[in-house]
Amino acid sequence: MKLTEALDQFYDYLTDERNLSPLTLSSYNQDWTAVLSWLEDQGRDSAAMEAEEITEDNIRRFLYAMNDKKLSRATINRRLAAMKSFYRFMIRKQHMEHNPMEDIHLRKLPKRLPHYLDQEEIVRVIESPDEQTEAGLRDRAILEVLYGSGLRVSELVGLKIEDIQLEEKWIRVFGKGGRQRISPLSTFSAAYLRRYISRTERKRQTAGVNSVFLNLRGGALTDRAVRDIVHKYCDRAGAKEILSPHGIRHSFATHLLDNGADLRVVQELLGHRRISSTQIYTHVSGSKLRKVYRLAHPRAK
């Protein structure tokens, strides 16, 4: 089977059977585009190649080339993971007998603790927008929802009007892989959403969109625009760190654990499939653990 044909089948599998998000599919495509580009640089015609022609030696040479370019471990691992996933698919579909990735292992990454702000700082950031303007009211609602519900930025910009139940204080969230979950809304989030949705109702109808958060022209807000908004108010509030939207999500999880929430509950709220994804927050919540230990253990004092 031609490599390009096999990749087309692989992408169809990721879309139809794995139901991966467009962002994840784009990432797989970018990683394999890098592989094909490297093959072209080596004088290979990727359009004419058979899938079986890529050998373990080719992959190791590609790995060396990535190292020479000083790519990060995370980028290298992501590309190798995309290749591993493709070859598992090929073996499972019986398009190939030998997996050239079998002896290729991902590089161990150093553990990095998530960036977050303490509770007083996050409140200063959230209260920074000027609520008297439409943009300021929108930004306040965005910050309230990011922190109040711990959403990913893609989940936030994907919110539709029909996903929000203001009276019951919950929202329907579409997470990674199209998985749905119900996330609670804080009292503050519900209040600011109500004000913002009411203020922009006519603009939404005129533009014919049902996205919750709009840019000033009436179109749906983008991931990049939300990142710029979060950076802006972190800077305005004089926060110790200029967070990304994901940093506010980290703050949400850390503060829940610091205030006694169960790890399994936080896992559900974040929409993590595995508890191991949530356990990193126990590292940044150590002050709470130490305090409890000192108060509770008979020999801690």
Determine which helix (DSSP H) or strand (DSSP E) holds 145, and give its type and residue range.
helix 134-149
Catalytic residue among 147, 192, 196, 281: 281
* Rounded distance between C-alpha atoms, residue 100 and residue 87, angstroms: 8
Told to judge if 273 belongs to the known catalytic residues of this protein, a careful annotator would answer no
Told to judge if 281 belongs to the known catalytic residues of this protein, a careful annotator would answer yes
> In terms of residues, how long is the chain?
301
Told to judge if 95 belongs to the known catalytic residues of this protein, a careful annotator would answer no
CA 270 to chain centre: 11
Catalytic residue among 79, 138, 140, 249: 249
Told to judge if 176 belongs to the known catalytic residues of this protein, a careful annotator would answer yes
Told to judge if 249 belongs to the known catalytic residues of this protein, a careful annotator would answer yes
Q: Which two tokens stand for residue 206?
A: 């005129």
Told to judge if 152 belongs to the known catalytic residues of this protein, a careful annotator would answer yes
Q: Phi/psi of residue 244, each to 5°?
A: -90, 170
Catalytic residue among 2, 73, 176, 195: 176
* Side chain identity, residue 13: Y
Task: Compute the C-alpha angle 210/214/215, nearest 5°.
Answer: 145
Catalytic residue among 78, 140, 152, 255: 152
* Helix 187-199 / helix 134-149 crossing angle, nearest 10 deg: 150
Beta strands 170-174 and 164-165, pairing class? antiparallel
Catalytic residue among 84, 95, 246, 288: 246
Q: Which residues are catalytic?
A: 152, 176, 246, 249, 272, 281
